[in-house]
Amino acid sequence: MFKILAEISVGQHLYWGFGQYQLHAQVLITSWIVFAIIIFISLTANLKLKLEPKGLQNLTEYVTEFVRDLANTQIGESEGAKWVPFLGTIFLFIFVSNWSGALLPLKIIKLPNGELAAPTNDINTTVALALLTSFAYFFAGLRKLGLNYFKRYISPVAFLLPINVLEDFTKPLSLSFRLFGNILADELVVGVLITLVPIFVPIPLMLLGLFTSAIQALVFSTLAGAYIGESIEGHH
């Protein structure tokens, strides 16, 4: 199923050959740009730590506190701290990816084929993030409950087994398509309007796109935390 999703293509793309395989170059390039931005801000902000944070250090500490509160709320204070790095990574990558497509002039970089866009504008990225989330909550449940984790599939009654199994397939599907659809739709609408009307007309939609992009990062990381918390509890 996910192999079929990975083959979904919108528009033209640049590929790099790697033996008998093809790598989606546009996603790799923009993902590296996102990684570089996150690493640069993190190193710059925390190079010389101060007791009274200012500027970028204040921003990074605020983000850390925000993710810690999210993890404690969705997973619980006893287990939440262990998942702050995972949820923080997911949140930052999606947030910076979404905003990079809205703020950075990626499309002016000429490629032999296709054009650059936000990494989350590609179904391959969103499916990968969704599968990582699925692996995380399976791992969390098995580590916490052992084989008792599988009792959740026959709770509260055994005949719900097929529905409970199906739910594990629908979670990554909904996560990946929600994020992919929202980011793709936002970039397409803004792109079409810019070509049809003066530049100042799409600005309100661009600002709205920044807001919705941040909300999508929050929704994805919140659901990831909720799924992990649910698997640790061992019931629905």
User: Using one digit for the tens of pLDDT, what is the confidence trace for 71-90?
Assistant: 999 998 888 889 999 999 99
With bands split at pLDDT 50, 70 and 90, how would you rate the model's confidence at 2? very low
Phi then psi dihedrals of residue 18, to 5 deg: -140, 90
Residue that wins the pLDDT comparison between 190 and 92: 92
Q: Residue 74: CB partners within 8 Å, gap ≥ 6?
A: 80, 222, 225, 226, 228, 229
User: Using one digit for the tens of pLDDT, what is the confidence trace for 44-81?
Assistant: 888 887 877 778 888 888 999 999 999 999 998 888 88
Task: Match 């920044």 to its residue by tokens.
Answer: 210
Q: Residue 52: CB partners within 8 Å, gap ≥ 6?
A: none
Query: Count of domains in the chain?
Result: 1
Instruction: Note down the domain range covering 17.
Output: 2-233
Cis omega (within 30 of 0) for bond into 105: no
Distance CA(174)–CA(84), nearest Å, equals 23
Out of 16-20, 141-145, 192-196, 231-235, give the one with best mean pLDDT: 141-145
